[in-house]
Structure 1
């Protein structure tokens, strides 16, 4: 089972979206209504991380294992 993030779709000006997580099979269609309130919802697409590289030398490491914090070209977010 995969955990997906959903948000409510505001129906009134100034109304804010609310977010919630739901475990679903990857084969299940995205929900269109909140399971409890019936409000319209949409699945939120979240960005992944990492570098995909085919062939050649392995991608350079970064992160806590090599002394960096794990983000940015120098390994730190300053």
Structure 2
């Protein structure tokens, strides 16, 4: 089961948001309330790890000069 990140929705100006993680099935609906406090929450989109197909079929070596620059160590 994946772990999802949620944050509370502030009810008044200046109230901080609180983030928490919860394991849920992909079939489960997103939470609308914090499980303990009942405060309204929203799911936070977080980048994941995965493969993105380009239709080329195989991995290609980087020739350098990518958008991440040379400081990342992948070039």
TM-score by length of 1: 0.71
SS in 2 for 1:5: strand
Which structure carries more relative contact order (alpha carbon 8 Å, separation 6+)? 2
What residue in structure 2 maps to residue 14 of structure 1? 14
What residue in structure 1 maps to residue 72 of structure 2? 76
CA–CA separation in structure 2 for the residues paired with 1:75 and 1:59: 20
TM-score by length of 2: 0.74
CA–CA separation in structure 2 for the residues paired with 1:51 and 1:38: 37
Aligned pairs for 1:1-78 within 5 A: 1-48=1-48, 52=52, 53-55=54-56, 57-60=58-61, 72-74=68-70, 76=72
**Which segment is superposed worse, 44-53 or 3-12?**
44-53
Residues 56, 24 of structure 1: alpha-carbon distance in 2 compared, 3 angstrom cutoff:
closer
What residue in structure 1 maps to residue 65 of structure 2? none
State the number of aligned residues: 68
Structure 1 spans left out of the alignment, 5+ residues:
62-71
Structure 2 spans left out of the alignment, 5+ residues:
63-67
